[in-house]
């Protein structure tokens, strides 16, 4: 178990200590439930009352926080407590993984595989012919790395991940359990007899640096060329990325969303949960797509906020929703007017 003093933590996050600099923590805890020996943080003012009750040994707080009561925990003041806490979690995870090296048995590594330094291959993992694995790559149980796959440095492949043949992964990537990279795109040509002819998917998937892919997310290989996930993209669990899609840098996509084939997302796009797009579309940089919105056409103006089905500019979509609620009353009034017109015409 790893332990840190308040002084060590303050150095890592460049914070200022208030209290006992020798206080020691070896675990993380929520501020309302933390116990002695745990580190917590306070970023949301709604939880401030717990700061004066917590049993945590150390708490990260914002520099701007003005204490209203006495606090028993050692405080470390930082510009942004949430960001500092995230930094510590990342460092803690890195330190835990540093001790994982070597190859466990039984596992299969083809004789033509190139393994970098500080690698770890867990039992029951499979690495196919001619794969090239960089430095400090951790491949856990049940993972399958196909033939000719290339993986950069500092990559974590969690249990049950499958990376199909010929795919290319950059550095500083995390792929969570059950994700599949490079499965066939959904390509079938209708035949005269009503059946379908499968279209071979001959391309691959390219994942650039600093990408994280959630559990049970699938990224299909291209029919020809590459499906591309660009630098800094963050994908939640249960996402479908279809063949020949391009996801722009630093885009974030929430769970249960789907991108249809050959659609191109710009830089910094944000997609809410259960949102989706039709195929062969272009989505401009910085566009925000609300949960459950469905994109049915191109949006080439940057930084728009879209919602609804079919998705449109959010304020207009909200106005439509308001009018939809009035439809039953409007229908009633129209019917009344029709009756009045009918009576007037009969009198005439």
Whether 158 sits among the annotated catalytic residues: the reply is no
d(CA 6, CA 14): 11
Contact 21, 74 (CB under 8 A): yes
Bond before 106 cis per omega within 30 degrees: yes
- The pair of three-digit structure tokens given for residue 131, joined into one six-digit string: 């794969």
**Active-site entry in 158, 176, 243, 323:** 243
| 73 CB-side CA count, 13 A | 28
Q: What is the sign, positive or negative, of the torsion defined by CA atoms of 60, 63, 64, 65? A: positive
DSSP single-letter state for residue 260: -
Q: How far is CA 198 from CA 163, 226, 303, in A?
A: 21, 19, 38
In 3D space, the residue among 274, 319, 321, 271 whose CA is nearest the CA of residue 299 turns out to be: 271
In residues, how long is the chain?
348
d(CA 274, CA 309): 12
- The pair of three-digit structure tokens given for residue 312, joined into one six-digit string: 């449109």
d(CA 124, CA 9): 37
Give the SS3 label for residue 63. Answer: coil
Widest CA span in the chain? 97
d(CA 311, CA 272): 13
Give the SS3 label for residue 17. Answer: strand
Active site residues: 243
């Amino acid at each position: 178990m790893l332990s840190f003093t308040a002084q060590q933590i303050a150095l890592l996050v460049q914070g200022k200590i208030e209290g006992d600099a020798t206080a020691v923590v070896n675990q993380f805890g929520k501020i309302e439930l933390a116990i002695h020996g745990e580190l917590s943080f306070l970023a949301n003012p709604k939880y401030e009352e717990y700061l004066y009750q917590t049993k945590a040994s150390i708490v990260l707080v914002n520099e701007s926080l003005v204490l209203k009561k006495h606090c028993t925990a050692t405080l470390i003041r930082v510009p942004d407590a949430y960001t500092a806490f995230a930094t510590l979690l990342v460092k803690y995870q890195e330190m835990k993984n540093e001790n994982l090296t070597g190859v466990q048995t039984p596992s299969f590594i083809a004789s033509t595989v190139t393994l970098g330094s500080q690698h770890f291959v867990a039992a029951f993992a499979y690495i196919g012919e001619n794969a090239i694995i960089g430095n400090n790559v951790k491949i856990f149980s049940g993972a399958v790395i196909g033939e000719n796959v290339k993986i950069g440095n500092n990559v974590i492949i969690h249990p049950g991940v499958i990376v199909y043949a010929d795919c290319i992964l950059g550095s500083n990537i995390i792929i969570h359990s059950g994700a599949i990279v490079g499965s066939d795109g959904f390509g079938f040509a209708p035949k005269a007899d009503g059946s379908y002819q499968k279209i071979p998917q001959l391309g691959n998937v390219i994942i650039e640096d600093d990408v994280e892919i959630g559990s049970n997310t699938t990224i299909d290989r291209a029919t020809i060329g590459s499906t591309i996930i660009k630098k800094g993209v963050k994908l939640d669990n249960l996402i479908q990325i279809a063949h020949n899609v391009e996801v722009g840098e630093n885009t974030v996509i929430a769970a249960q969303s789907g991108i249809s084939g050959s659609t191109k997302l710009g830089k910094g796009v944000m997609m809410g949960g259960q949102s989706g797009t039709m195929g062969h579309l272009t989505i401009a940089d910085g566009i925000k797509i609300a949960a459950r919105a469905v994109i049915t056409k191109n949006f080439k103006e940057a930084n728009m906020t879209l919602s609804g089905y079919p998705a449109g500019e959010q304020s207009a979509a909200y106005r439509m929703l308001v009018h939809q609620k009035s439809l039953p009353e409007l229908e009633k009034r129209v019917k009344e007017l029709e009756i009045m017109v009918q009576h007037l015409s009969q009198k005439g």
